[in-house]
Amino acid sequence: MLTPDYFILELLVDELAPQLAGARIAKVHQPAVDCLIFKLWNGRQNLKLLIQVGRGARLHLTEQNFANPFQPPRFCQLLRARLKKLESISMPGHERVVELSFKGTDQQYRLVCELIGERSNLYLLDEAGLLVDGLLKPQDIGNRHLQRGKPYQTLPRQSLLDLSRPEVTVPEEIKDQDGFEDWLCRCVAPMSKGQARQLKVAAELSGDIPSTFMKFKHDWSIKNSCVSLLE
């Protein structure tokens, strides 16, 4: 399965949300240093949620079976000890960051999944927003410094045009498809290189850059798409 961009990941989360809400955790496995498997029971069926970080960062349901180490790694043991029920899954912003909210043995917890390529990581936060631990060593990005027991800091925000705002349109000076693709990548969020390339092709076919962009905005706003959840 290819690494999902923001838009595919958003669709995945939207489809997963009703299936995972309230699911009890039967087991947590860590078959590899960069991968977790949550075995869940949602009252109707058993599900396996895979979360992987690193270059192949991804999050989806799977039917695959994985070999697990005899001794579970430290982070896996921590999740087993603290987490009882998955209450919700969501994407809070315009980055490839997914949050899973859990009812724990002693308090509420959040698992923040930063699925951003080589710097991907998973962070367990307590109900006060303090960093309990990370799957991998905490990653410092820009001026962000993460330490266990300290408040979690979100990824640095870029000053880009918000795709969800109705006033965001293609500037009049954008006259060709190459300039359109470049503007999308540099100035609009959320956006991905793959999506910008597809919109460039769509604009070439239609011959109308502004209409292509507005149609995409509309389709995105009403979530006019679907994806497969199984590997």
Cα angle vertex 35, ends 30, 40, to 5°?
65
Question: Once rounded to an integer, what is the mean pLDDT over residues 102-119?
Answer: 93
> Do residue 57 and residue 102 come from a single domain?
yes
**Among the listed residues 5, 76, 9, the one whose alpha carbon sits nearest the alpha carbon of residue 38:** 76
> Do residue 130 and residue 181 come from a single domain?
no
> Do residue 174 and residue 84 come from a single domain?
no
Query: In the chain, how many domains are there?
Result: 2
Q: Confirm whether 149 is domain-assigned.
A: no
Question: Once rounded to an integer, what is the mean pLDDT over residues 103-130?
Answer: 94
The CATH number given to whatever domain includes residue 123 is 2.30.310.10
Its pTM stands at 0.88
> Do residue 70 and residue 183 come from a single domain?
no
Question: Once rounded to an integer, what is the mean pLDDT over residues 138-161?
Answer: 85
> Do residue 15 and residue 75 come from a single domain?
yes
At 67, the pLDDT band (50, 70, 90 cuts) reads: confident
> Do residue 165 and residue 114 come from a single domain?
no
Q: Confirm whether 154 is domain-assigned.
A: no
Is 225's pLDDT higher than 80? Answer: no
> Do residue 57 and residue 13 come from a single domain?
yes
**Alpha-carbon span 81 to 156, nearest angstrom:** 31
**Among the listed residues 107, 91, 109, 112, the one whose alpha carbon sits nearest the alpha carbon of residue 5:** 91
pLDDT at 229: 39
> Do residue 19 and residue 114 come from a single domain?
yes
Q: Confirm whether 148 is domain-assigned.
A: no
Q: Which one of 117, 134, 151 terminates a domain?
A: 134
At 84, the pLDDT band (50, 70, 90 cuts) reads: very high
Q: Confirm whether 141 is domain-assigned.
A: no
Angle between helices 177-187 and 209-221 (to 10 degrees): 40
Is 231's pLDDT higher than 50? Answer: no
- Lowest mean pLDDT across 3-17, 133-147, 206-220: 133-147
> Do residue 168 and residue 123 come from a single domain?
no
Q: Confirm whether 38 is domain-assigned.
A: yes
Q: Confirm whether 26 is domain-assigned.
A: yes
- Per the structure, the complete domain to which residue 122 belongs is given by 6-134
Q: Confirm whether 145 is domain-assigned.
A: no
**Alpha-carbon span 10 to 31, nearest angstrom:** 25
